[in-house]
Amino acid sequence: MSETVLMKGNEAIAEAAILAGCRHYFGYPITPQTEVAAYMAKKMPKIGGTFLQAESEIAAINMVYGVASTGHPAMTSSSSPGISLKAEGISYLAGADLPALIINVQRGGPGLGGIQPSQSDYFLATRGPGHGDFHVLVFAPSSVQEMADLTGRALHLAWKYRMPAMLLADGTMGQMMEPVNLPEPSNAFGDDNPWAATGTEMKRPHNIITSLDLSPENLEKQNFERFERYKKIEESECLWEEYMMDDAEICIVACGITARVSRNAIVEARKQGIKVGMLRPITLWPFPKKALAAAAEKVNAFLCVEMNMGQMKEDVELAIRCKKPVELCSRVGGMIPTPDEVLEHIRKIAEGGKEA
């Protein structure tokens, strides 16, 4: 294991991407993720990689498309308004079946919004950020260690399944420092990618990389094939963590920073004799539907703790087929729920249960 170091979440993302073998970064500055670009600007030239500050977010994502087409891992990073701009490019990447890593360190919206942390891009990320029928892999780290670990995982799975992956963090996760053990350097991408546009040397037919297909029959077939792949991913790549769920009567569902806040509230509630636990989705797409459905068999109620108006709550209700009530504790606009607020919601649910 490597030496433990202290890093900001944004820096951990950048270093982990490099350690995972990514040598091409394209971006455009925006708070609160600028440290990713700053780190890349310092490091990439020293290791023979590319750092390029593009003229816009749209340019950056299309540069990623270009590099990915040649069979090399590439990434971009931004924050919420910038991700909206990248949506077209992400859809094209999905349509061309190209791997890419997109970092979204979320801030409050909509519009330009503010610069303080938020989770309000949940829908944008999990419904396929762009037009057309598609998904991207979505990872929600809740520690600086996970920022590092999931960055590497996202890159590798994007490659494995030839699709874009998004690391969905927020301003707090990006700005905070925690001890982290960086992963060992690896490079699983190889030089021989039969799908890549690397020059035929007149020895093989062209590889055509495009998202355009004017034949409805062909385009339908591609969509079907893509969703067959998505089905496999839903079966095998789902990640979540359970905390104090063994005897839980109330199940908190929270990811990222709100899972950290909820942890404090759970410890406090347990001291007061309330049996509450947490199911923390680590992948948001694929969503841990089966784990939630299993939890619905055991607990009396769910509580979603989110920094949006209840976007993940819809997925929880779908996953459990509305078998149990799902309550919401939420703050928005850059505000973060406090452990006391979460505890208050837990207490209300616990008291309501006794009355009923």
Partner 1 sequence: MAHHEIVIAGFGGQGLLFIGKVLAYAGLVEKRQLSWLPSYGPEMRGGTANCNVILSDDPVGSPIVQHPNVLIVMNTPSLDKYESAVVPGGKIFVDSTLISRKVARDDVDVYYVPATQMAKDMELKNLANMILLGTVIRETKCIKDETVEEALKHVIPARKMNLMDVNLKAIQAGKDYQP
Give contact residues for partner 1 (rule: CB under 8 A): 4-6, 31-32, 115-116, 171-172, 175-179, 257, 260-261, 263-264, 267, 336, 338-340
In sequence order, which residues have a C-beta less than 8 Å from that of residue 123 and are 6 or more positions away? 311
Q: Which is nearer to partner 1, 265 or 292 (CB)?
A: 265
Q: Which is nearer to partner 1, 339 or 353 (CB)?
A: 339
In sequence order, which residues have a C-beta less than 8 Å from that of residue 17 and are 6 or more positions away? 25, 75, 101, 151, 152, 155
Q: Token pair for residue 295?
A: 């939890």
Alpha-carbon distances of 71 from 25, 78, 134, 188, rounded to whole Å: 15, 23, 21, 12
**CB-hemisphere CA count at 13 Å for 177?**
5
Give me the least distance between CB of 339 and partner 1, in Å please: 6
Q: Which is nearer to partner 1, 259 or 320 (CB)?
A: 259
Q: Is 235 exposed, middle or buried (0-12, 13-18, 19+ CB in 10 A)?
A: exposed
Give me the least distance between CB of 293 and partner 1, in Å please: 27
DSSP-derived secondary structure letter, 335: -
Give me the least distance between CB of 30 and partner 1, in Å please: 12
Alpha-carbon distances of 342 from 45, 118, 259, 293, 349, rounded to whole Å: 45, 17, 11, 23, 11
Give me the least distance between CB of 8 and partner 1, in Å please: 9
Q: Which is nearer to partner 1, 235 or 340 (CB)?
A: 340
Q: Please report, as a single letter, which amino acid is at residue 336.
A: I
What phi and psi, each to the nearest 5 degrees, are found at residue 259? -70, -35
Q: Which is nearer to partner 1, 38 or 209 (CB)?
A: 38
Q: Which is nearer to partner 1, 72 or 263 (CB)?
A: 263
Residue 221's H or E segment, with its range, is helix 216-236
Give me the least distance between CB of 106 and partner 1, in Å please: 14
Give me the least distance between CB of 355 and partner 1, in Å please: 29
Give me the least distance between CB of 241 and partner 1, in Å please: 13
Cα separation, 238 vs 226, whole angstroms: 18
Q: Which is nearer to partner 1, 69 or 142 (CB)?
A: 142
